[in-house]
Amino acid sequence: MNNNPYLSFVITARNDDYGVNFLHRMQVFANVLLELAEKYLFDAELIVVEWNPPANKKPLAQALSWPSRLKSIKIRFITVPPEVHNHLPKSDKMQMFEFLAKNVGVRRAKGEYVLVTNPDIVFNDELIGFLAEKKLLAECFYRIDRYDVKKTVPSDISAREQLIFCEKNWTEVKSLQGDRRRNFPYFNYKQLRSILSQIKAKFIYDPRSKIHTNASGDFFLAANSQWQKLRGYPELPIPSFIDSYLCFMAVSSGLSQVILNGKKRIYHQGHTSYVNRDKLYKEYEGYKERAEEMIKKGQPWIINDENWGLGKESLEEYEN
């Protein structure tokens, strides 16, 4: 296998049952991704950044079932230990710094392209088949709509059957135009708001309406070289809308947005959400101003220094 894979998948996780039934959701993610990667002989790597692992729980390499003889895709586990976490601001209030953890993986990724996603996402056959064709462009960044599945994906069926389950049971799609319910007989508030936003965008040009930030934390794909130039996601101090910031950073740096569509999909396995909406409302105006400024000036908002992604730390790594 090539030491420098074509694409690096990057996720972060810890064995703390985030959102309830976390290990089950991550197992489904791994089962489907690894099986499809092997099907297409996809030259890739999966980087699992295990952040601040709980002392009383098994590490993810042991807590989940991982295939032992993979031909195409390599699995790398990178551990950020509690002693590193504890030296960070607000470490006493937060057990996981999601985007800093993702930056750890991005910084150490070996792939020509890097796709940052989450461990409860399910990639479908058409999407992995497309990625395996190796037709990505370095001057672009890639986004995709997210299809939400609220029902628990069964664990006692094959990966192919799990994909069929997701296709049959998705309830909502998060797209550039907003959130849309499946087979919903009447408009709800979210749908009405999305329609009004689209009408407004036609009469009052708003460049922000053209950038697909919806659920961007679940899928952001770009060339490794572009990730390095942008220095990953904004880190400390940690604002809200971090994943959306990266979309505007990419556009303002000159990258073209490509929204993957057609039959290519990602599915999100539903879980309990911990969103501080009061904090989001308070920080929205600041996010809006920075996004507009980036577009206007054509200059990305890069706050990370050269140590981004814990670049100076020597972290333990294990390959499956």
Please give the pLDDT value at position 204: 46
Please give the pLDDT value at position 189: 58
* 3-class SS of residue 311: coil
Q: What's the token pair of residue 204?
A: 């009052």
45 neighbors 76 (Cβ within 8 angstroms): yes
Least confident stretch, 94-108, 160-174, 216-230, 268-282: 268-282
Please give the pLDDT value at position 198: 53
Q: State phi, psi for 42 to the nearest 5 degrees.
A: -80, 120
- Is residue 200 predicted with pLDDT exceeding 90? no
* 3-class SS of residue 47: strand
50 neighbors 14 (Cβ within 8 angstroms): yes
* Site of tokens 């319910």: 181
**Secondary structure of 134-165 in HEC code, one letter for each residue:** CCCCCCEEEEECEEEECCCCCCCCCHHHHHHH
Q: What's the token pair of residue 206?
A: 């708003």
Cα(164)–Cα(172) distance, integer angstroms: 16
Residue 171: what residue type? Answer: T
Residue of 317, 316, 271, 315 whose CA lies nearest to 29: 271
- The length of the chain, given as a count of residues: 320
Please give the pLDDT value at position 174: 95
Burial of 205 from C-beta contacts in 10 A (0-12 / 13-18 / 19+): exposed
Please give the pLDDT value at position 19: 76
pTM score: 0.91
More confident residue, 12 or 202: 12
- Is residue 304 predicted with pLDDT exceeding 50? yes
Domain locations in the chain as residue ranges: 7-176+211-319
Please give the pLDDT value at position 272: 75
27 neighbors 64 (Cβ within 8 angstroms): yes
99 neighbors 243 (Cβ within 8 angstroms): yes
Cα(25)–Cα(33) distance, integer angstroms: 12
Give the mean pLDDT of 15-43. 94
Cα(316)–Cα(81) distance, integer angstroms: 9
Give the mean pLDDT of 250-270. 96
Can you name the CATH fold of 7-176+211-319? Answer: Spore Coat Polysaccharide Biosynthesis Protein SpsA; Chain A (3.90.550)
More confident residue, 239 or 137: 137
Q: What's the token pair of residue 75?
A: 């699995």
Cα(246)–Cα(4) distance, integer angstroms: 25
CA dihedral over 225, 221, 290, 268, signed as positive or negative:
negative
Cα(164)–Cα(159) distance, integer angstroms: 9
